[in-house]
């Protein structure tokens, strides 16, 4: 073994921007319209919920950007929490990321991909779908053990194709959809559905935006992080906000509201997704096939991005002596944390076998937003503690942007506890299960020296 404490900075602006967009743009944009419509009963409020979720994500991204340039190291939120609040909160974040958020997100994308592939590949039995999901996790995990620069280029290509597919649907609806009518958008009414319903719908929309926080996890591999981190985060979330607003406008433009209500969701799991119904309006029966391929490709790209970014958290924890030493191993040629990637793949495969897509995403979003709020709040701590630090970028709208983010995040979490207590409590229990593990580790292993990353020959 040879010592190598840091990864090489090989990712430029375009790969980093592609990583932001590619991680966010997964399955939610195709699957959440129906359940949000059922919560809100109005196309107008669904569109408002998507815009609010986008602005909330943007506020978080603008704040993360300032923190990211202060600590441009692998690990992202784990690093920020450790610097702001100490080891314990950072460990609990890493614990839930390792056991819930990372494998849950990856498994959800894999299960979603297999679900989209089922009618195309004739996978009409559940074992075939789960087998495909597990196979995809393992294959893309192995690909992510390759050189990070190569993976950055791959992400750029996959992101370009995903965005192009969305623009194809948007253009097709606006120019060729025979059933398109602006009256569809307002026919469902505009009465406010209530705060609980709006909060539940907002949580669903936030799943579609989830992933904007992932890019800082690879900050240790980004060229010129003081420029590329803030620009890529801000531009990436703005692009996604525009795309999501346009595509959901097209859903309600092309289809009556009743068709959206009866699309694929928890209530109607066997129905076509709203996006597939929309594609049929201007492509005929070929629209179902096109949409299935588009959703497969979109989910695969997001899954690959999640594999790449999330493995950097246990790597950073292992470097600090808070995780198994082997998770800090870097491959001698690819410089990837290959052990962390492979362990993450095994856990993701287990979750893919055990839960449905919506169950996994519910656990992930609630658990993650607890730490999004903590990290965003840390910007106030760093402003006070490090007033002279070099900040080529400062949070736009400070202090109001992070304050608004924190207030809305807390309200969202409280509402989720009220409307989805089972999922929320499971998320909290999994987070707190890390506390005794942390204290046991500190008691019996605190005397061991902290390690540096090592590379395998």
pLDDT digits (tens, 9 = 90+) for 161-175: 889 999 999 999 988
Cα 212 from Cα 21, distance rounded (Å) = 8
Q: 8, 221 in Cβ contact below 8 A?
A: yes
Looking at per-residue pLDDT, the higher value among 180 and 76 belongs to 76
Range of weakest confidence among 65-79, 385-399, 422-436: 422-436
Q: What's the pLDDT tens digit per position in 124-143?
A: 555 678 888 899 999 999 98
Cα 194 from Cα 343, distance rounded (Å) = 43
Q: 273, 295 in Cβ contact below 8 A?
A: yes
Mean pLDDT of 40-60: 92
Half-sphere exposure of 421 (CA within 13 A, CB side): 1
26, 29, 33, 35, 251 from 261: Cα distances, Å: 21, 15, 8, 7, 11
pLDDT given at position 100: 78
- The answer, yes or no, to whether residue 268 has pLDDT greater than 90, is no
Looking at per-residue pLDDT, the higher value among 232 and 269 belongs to 232
Q: What's the pLDDT tens digit per position in 93-105?
A: 999 888 778 888 8
pLDDT given at position 415: 82
Question: Other C-beta atoms within 10 Å of 56: how many?
Answer: 22
Looking at per-residue pLDDT, the higher value among 366 and 23 belongs to 23
Find the CATH number of the domain harbouring 151.
1.20.1740.10
Report how many domains make up the chain: 1
Cα 70 from Cα 47, distance rounded (Å) = 35
pLDDT given at position 377: 94
Cα 24 from Cα 127, distance rounded (Å) = 28
Q: What's the pLDDT tens digit per position in 332-345?
A: 777 788 999 999 99
- Strands in 329-331's sheet, in edge-to-edge order, are 2-3, 454-456, 329-331
pLDDT given at position 6: 62
Cα 54 from Cα 238, distance rounded (Å) = 8
- pLDDT tier for residue 183 given thresholds of 50, 70 and 90: low
Cα 449 from Cα 304, distance rounded (Å) = 34
Domain hosting 355: range is: 2-456
Check whether the bond before 91 is cis (ω within 30° of 0).
no
Percent of the chain with pLDDT over 90: 28
Q: What's the pLDDT tens digit per position in 139-163?
A: 999 988 877 777 778 888 888 988 9
pLDDT given at position 41: 87
pLDDT given at position 324: 81
What is the length of the chain? 457
List the one residue out of 94, 65, 302 whose CA is nearest residue 207: 302
- pLDDT tier for residue 455 given thresholds of 50, 70 and 90: very low
Cα 128 from Cα 126, distance rounded (Å) = 5
- The answer, yes or no, to whether residue 454 has pLDDT greater than 60, is no
Tokens of 35: 């359940």
Tell me which H or E stretch contains 367. helix 357-385
Tokens of 92: 């609990």
Q: What's the pLDDT tens digit per position in 379-406?
A: 999 999 999 898 899 999 999 999 999 9
- The answer, yes or no, to whether residue 414 has pLDDT greater than 50, is yes
Cα 277 from Cα 291, distance rounded (Å) = 9
pLDDT given at position 93: 93
- Burial class from Cβ neighbours inside 10 Å (0-12, 13-18, 19+) for residue 454 reads buried
Mean pLDDT of 85-112: 87
pLDDT given at position 449: 47
List the one residue out of 82, 100, 99 whose CA is nearest residue 91: 82
- The answer, yes or no, to whether residue 445 has pLDDT greater than 60, is no
Cα 430 from Cα 98, distance rounded (Å) = 11
Q: Mean pLDDT across the chain, nearest whole number?
A: 84
pLDDT given at position 457: 41
Interacting residues of 208 by C-beta distance below 8 A, sequence separation 6+: 24, 26, 28, 29, 32, 50, 53, 244
Cα 138 from Cα 412, distance rounded (Å) = 34
- pLDDT tier for residue 436 given thresholds of 50, 70 and 90: very high
Measured in degrees and rounded to the nearest 5, phi and psi for residue 332 equal -65, -30
Q: What's the pLDDT tens digit per position in 279-317?
A: 888 888 888 888 888 888 888 888 988 898 898 899 989
């Amino acid at each position: 073994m040879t010592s190598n404490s840091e990864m090489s900075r090989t990712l430029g602006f375009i790969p980093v921007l592609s990583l932001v967009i590619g991680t966010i743009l997964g399955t939610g944009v195709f699957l959440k319209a129906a359940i949000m419509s059922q919560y809100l009963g109005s196309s107008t409020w669904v569109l408002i919920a998507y815009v609010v979720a986008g602005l909330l994500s943007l506020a978080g991204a603008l704040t993360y950007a300032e923190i990211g340039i202060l600590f441009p190291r692998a690990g992202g939120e784990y690093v920020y929490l450790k610097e702001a609040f100490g080891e314990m909160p950072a460990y609990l974040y890493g614990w839930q990321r390792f056991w819930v958020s990372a494998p849950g997100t990856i498994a959800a994308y894999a299960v979603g991909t297999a679900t989209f592939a089922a009618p195309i590949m004739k996978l009409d039995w559940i074992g075939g779908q789960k087998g495909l999901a597990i196979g995809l996790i393992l294959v893309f995990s192995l690909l992510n053990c390759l050189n990070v620069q190569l993976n950055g280029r791959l992400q750029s290509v996959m992101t370009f194709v995903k965005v192009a597919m969305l623009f194809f649907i948007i253009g097709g609806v606006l120019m060729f959809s025979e059933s398109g009518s602006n009256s569809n958008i307002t026919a469902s009414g505009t009465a406010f559905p209530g705060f609980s319903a709006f909060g539940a719908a907002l949580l669903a929309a936030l799943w579609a935006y989830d992933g904007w926080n992932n890019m800082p996890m690879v900050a240790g591999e980004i060229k010129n992080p003081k420029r590329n981190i803030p620009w890529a985060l801000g531009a990436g979330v703005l692009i996604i906000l525009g795309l999501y607003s346009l595509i959901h406008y097209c859903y309600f433009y092309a289809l009556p509201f009743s068709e959206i209500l009866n699309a694929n969701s928890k209530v109607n799991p066997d129905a076509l997704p709203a996006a597939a119904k929309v594609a049929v309006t201007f492509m005929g029966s070929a629209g179902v096939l096109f949409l299935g391929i588009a959703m497969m490709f979109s989910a695969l790209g997001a899954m690959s991005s999640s594999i790449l970014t999330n493995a950097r958290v246990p790597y950073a924890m292992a470097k600090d002596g808070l995780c198994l030493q082997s998770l800090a191993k870097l491959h001698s040629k690819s410089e990837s944390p290959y052990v962390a990637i492979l362990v993450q793949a095994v856990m993701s495969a287990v979750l893919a076998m055990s839960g449905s897509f919506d169950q996994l995403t519910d656990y992930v979003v609630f658990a993650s937003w607890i730490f999004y709020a903590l990290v965003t709040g840390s910007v106030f701590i760093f402003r006070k503690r490090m007033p002279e630090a070099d900040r080529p970028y400062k949070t736009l709208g400070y202090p109001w942007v992070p304050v608004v983010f924190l207030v809305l995040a807390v309200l969202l979490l409280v509402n989720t506890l009220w409307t989805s207590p089972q999922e929320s409590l499971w998320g909290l229990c999994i987070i707190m299960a890390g506390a005794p593990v942390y204290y046991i580790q500190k008691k019996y292993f605190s005397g061991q020296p902290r390690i540096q990353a090592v590379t395998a020959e």
